[in-house]
Amino acid sequence: MTVDIIIPVLNEEEYLRNCMKSVLEFERPAGLSWRIFIMDGDSQDRTREIALEFASRYPEIRVLSNPGRIQSCGLNLAIRSGRGEFVLRLDAHATYPKNYLELCLETSVRTQADNVGGVFVTHPGGTGYGAQLVQALTTHRFGVGNAGYRLNPKEGLADTVPYGFFKRDVFVRLGFFDERLARGQDYEFNRRIRASGGTIWLNPAIQVHYYNRPTLAAFLKKQLCKEGPYNAYLWYLAPYAVSIRHGITGAFAVGVCLGTVLSNFTPLILFPFMIILGCYGLMGLIAGVQQALRFREWRHVFAVPVALFLFHFCHGLGFLAGLVRLLLGTAPIQEKKEPWPGADRFRAWPIHT
């Protein structure tokens, strides 16, 4: 039995060493062999140097260039280069327990699912309070909605899982990761599996120790410039991947902007708008108290409600900006007519003839 482990990287010198150490400590079931592909998207820091250092010591590690730079391009290149019966997609921004691979394999064999995965154990990405605040935002339901893998789910079927342990034949049947998506390619592919009648299985015993953005500013910039717009692009490319949690922030941003302007003209709008904002603020305060008790950080009581508003508003503005760019025909995903070279008419879903 063979497994291809794929780790796309781009400027990950701060995290790659710890990631690789955890991967190399995986407990390996008897008879299992692996190859590890580190796909470098032209990193400008010491990422490639660190990757080559590991490759010089471990013959099963290959360091390949990823000319497309983004994760989906690197994943596809490695999948084509690999020969494993299973494909384990990992992220350098995380570390993994020793039983990670063993649990993935056991769950895959037991459930016969097309893809299996686990849950995020979220850690601060820095030492400052902003990193703790980002952790609080991404571990509360009011922050991330119904993204079960970030919360406390039960084992069973899921719409997506982080990263994933795939049967290789799923890529033969459904194609590769959509190279037009710089974000959300994992979610799109998982929903493509579900739409084709396949299964995604979440086992909470499989844990990913993920490190968030180190500051609130960096986190909000990511929502505004990457997560929000690419959620809109995802809806355009793959209607079967539509999720209410990805678009509801857009409605929230529209409501805040319109309510702020129109409430100046009539109390018919002012009073309902104030009531809605009051309810939102109360929910944010409750979340702040809960996270303050959970993490034993009293500042969360006051900071979390404000940060939640900024989180939702920035993501919503990003989503709306993505819609506008789609309407104007200037979205980056519209520059490519194919998800990957040679896909012809393939639009993130097989066309049956």
As given in the structure block, the two tokens for residue 51 are 């990757």
| For the chain, domain boundaries | 2-131+148-212
Q: What is the rounded distance in angstroms from the CA atom of residue 71 to the CA atom of residue 179? A: 8
- pLDDT, residue 97, reads 96
Q: Which residue in 296, 21, 327 sits closest to 135, CA to CA?
A: 296
Does residue 340 have a pLDDT over 80? no
- pLDDT, residue 43, reads 95
227 to 70, 140, 194, 241, 327: CA distances (angstroms): 14, 18, 22, 15, 18
- Average pLDDT of the residues in 161-173: 93
What is the CA angle 3-4-5, rounded to 5? Answer: 110
As given in the structure block, the two tokens for residue 102 are 């063993």
Q: What is the rounded distance in angstroms from the CA atom of residue 267 to the CA atom of residue 259? A: 11
- pLDDT, residue 279, reads 95
Residues 21-61 pLDDT 10s:
999 999 988 889 999 999 999 999 999 999 999 999 999 99
51 within 8 A of 38, measured Cβ to Cβ: yes
Q: Output the CATH code of domain 2-131+148-212.
A: 3.90.550.10
Residues 101-145 pLDDT 10s:
999 999 999 999 999 999 988 899 999 999 999 999 999 989 887
Does residue 169 have a pLDDT over 60? yes
